Amino acid sequence: MEIRNICCIGAGYVGGPTMAVIANYCPNIQVNVVDINPERIDQWNDDDFSKLPIFEPGLAEIVKKCRGVNLHFSNEMENQIKKADMIFISVNTPTKVKGIGAGQAIDLKYVEASSREIAKYSEGFTIVVEKSTLPVKTAQTIKDILDAESKSKEKFTEKNFAVLSNPEFLAEGTAINDLNNPDRILIGGDNKEAIDSLVRIYTNWVDKSKVLTTDLWSSELSKLIANAFLAQRISSINTISALCEATGANIKDVALAVGMDKRIGKYFLNSGPGFGGSCFKKDISNLVYISNHYGLSEVAEYWQKVLDINLWQQKRFVELIVKQMFGTISSKKIAILGFAFKSNTNDTRESPAIYICRKLIEEGAILNIYDPKVSQNQINKDLKGCKEDLNVPNNNKKWTFSNSLYETFNDTDAAIFMTEWEEFQNLDWSTISPKMRKPAWIFDTRSIIKKNVIKKYGINIWQVGSGS
């Protein structure tokens, strides 16, 4: 079956970049991205390409080239679903906040809503592709919703569906490169015609040897497990960072030595403030939930530890910051460098900076926060309702937003490097040093600052995995 018209439900961090790349490589396919959030669609359609809702290197250039040609963003759910031969579900799948499984299970309400819209508006044979990360067996739920509609006698509809799983492995900050050069394309399903249609789209730019086809459940589960394995490496290296600090070893050397073993590999061995982002915590929590659901409590406990270590790393950072600063940070001014959960993104979801800033504010510190891509408005949302400032009408009192990297250090007692932005890696310390109140401290949670340079200016420095 030749695909001429694609609809993607969800114009977020996955839907937007993924569809932009498909449009770029498939000029004969019309790609329509729809979303229930009108503000987000307006941002995707903004003539000022710096105002796209997502900052991702290389994305604006593709949107500039394809938008209005074969890439379109709109709220026209009904129309676009009707026209589509293939529909990607790329909506958010957050952790449930209440009810059964709260804090662990995935809330499938947006997936279910999308499936109902597809069931209602689609016409003829439609291939439905799960792009969102979903608990294993979700395809059955989608199929049940779609089948109920196609079998509905009263409506005499001529519609039928094939459901495929095609999880996305892109990482934020490198999304366009990851989409252009994926390690693999995973497609799960049981309808050969539908699978072939999707394979044909990807092989416009991806070598066929990288396309792996499996059954639906293996595909759905593989995505969760890939994220779990990546996160597990981060928790592993973070436990060792503490051991290095205690023993005088250096985490960078240890990671290098360990990673040179081909069987281990060098990636995902950077110790830091713990993993953030919208995926790891949510997906591992879900893995814990699913394991318990199937009565596999040992499996659940094993993966729960990966999450526990992540939080432990953040807690121990707060404790050591307070301890190093003579046991109190009350009314002390602290610069926060970086608020995004990693560099090259404006995304702050589950960013370690949120937890750490909230705890510092609770201890009475006054923060001055700088991030090259995160807006003041976003930080405001993330730090809303901090304990310390519950009675303070103006939430900004406990933190200020800095537009200028160097001014962020003005009158501060300490600076904490939270995100590994490139612009933090070669700072002019002769300019910064006089701005800070002595004795001044640098806490480098990413190990990006050159220790010997800092020391020349009489500033104390603590780094993850090598200490002070």
Q: Which residues of 186-225 are buried (b: 16+ CB within 10 A; e: fewer)?
A: bbbbeeeebbebbeebbeeebeeeebebeebeebbbbbbe
Q: How many residues does the chain have?
A: 468
In this structure, are residues 200 and 187 in contact, taking their beta carbons and an 8 Å threshold?
no
List the interface residues with ligand NAD, window 261-290 (CB under 6 A). 278-279
The span of 107-115, 192-200, 322-330, 336-344 binding ligand NAD (CB under 6 A) equals 107-115
Spatial neighbors of 11 by CB under 8 A, at least 6 apart, are 33, 34, 35, 37, 40, 41, 44, 53, 73
Is residue 234 at the binding interface for ligand UDX, with CB under 6 A as the rule? yes
In this structure, are residues 217 and 225 in contact, taking their beta carbons and an 8 Å threshold?
no
Is residue 16 at the binding interface for ligand UDX, with CB under 6 A as the rule? no
In this structure, are residues 71 and 20 in contact, taking their beta carbons and an 8 Å threshold?
yes
The span of 84-92, 309-317, 322-330, 331-339 binding ligand NAD (CB under 6 A) equals 84-92
Active-site hit among 7, 66, 244, 279: 279
CB nearer ligand UDX, residue 72 or residue 182: 182
CB nearer ligand UDX, residue 121 or residue 280: 280
Shortest separation between residue 270's beta carbon and ligand NAD, angstroms:
18
Shortest separation between residue 292's beta carbon and ligand NAD, angstroms:
20
CB nearer ligand NAD, residue 93 or residue 466: 93
The span of 270-278, 299-307, 360-368, 435-443 binding ligand UDX (CB under 6 A) equals 270-278
Is 13 marked within a binding site?
Answer: yes
Residue 10: name its binding partner from ligand UDX, ligand NAD, none (Cβ under 5 to 8 Å by kind). Answer: ligand NAD
Is 279 a catalytic site residue?
A: yes
Among 45, 147, 35, CA closest to 91: 35
Q: Which residues of 57-88 are buried (b: 16+ CB within 10 A; e: fewer)?
A: ebbbebbeebbeebbbbbbebeebbbbbbbbb
Q: Which of 227, 241, 285, 344 binds ligand UDX (CB under 6 A)?
A: 227
- CA–CA dist 25, 10 (Å, integer): 20
Is residue 59 at the binding interface for ligand NAD, with CB under 6 A as the rule? no
Shortest separation between residue 172's beta carbon and ligand NAD, angstroms:
5
Q: How many CA atoms lie within 13 A of 71 on its CB side?
A: 26
Is residue 453 at the binding interface for ligand NAD, with CB under 6 A as the rule? no
- CA–CA dist 23, 88 (Å, integer): 14
Is residue 20 at the binding interface for ligand NAD, with CB under 6 A as the rule? no
Is 294 marked within a binding site?
Answer: no
Residue 220: name its binding partner from ligand NAD, ligand UDX, none (Cβ under 5 to 8 Å by kind). Answer: none
Q: Which amino acid is at 232?
A: Q
Shortest separation between residue 212's beta carbon and ligand NAD, angstroms:
17
Is residue 32 at the binding interface for ligand UDX, with CB under 6 A as the rule? no
Is residue 15 at the binding interface for ligand NAD, with CB under 6 A as the rule? yes
Q: How many residues bind ligand UDX (CB under 6 A)?
A: 19
Q: Which of 272, 372, 465, 467 binds ligand UDX (CB under 6 A)?
A: 272
Shortest separation between residue 116's beta carbon and ligand NAD, angstroms:
9
Is residue 182 at the binding interface for ligand UDX, with CB under 6 A as the rule? no
Residue 412: name its binding partner from ligand NAD, ligand UDX, none (Cβ under 5 to 8 Å by kind). Answer: none
Binding residues for NAD(+): 10-15, 35, 40, 91-95, 132-133, 172, 279-282, 349
Give the interface with ligand UDX as residue ranges (CB under 6 A). 168-172, 227, 230, 234, 268-270, 272, 275-277, 279-280, 341-342
Give the interface with ligand NAD as residue ranges (CB under 6 A). 9-15, 34-37, 40, 90-93, 110, 113-114, 132-133, 168, 170, 172, 278-279
> Where in the sequence numbering do the catalytic residues fall?
279
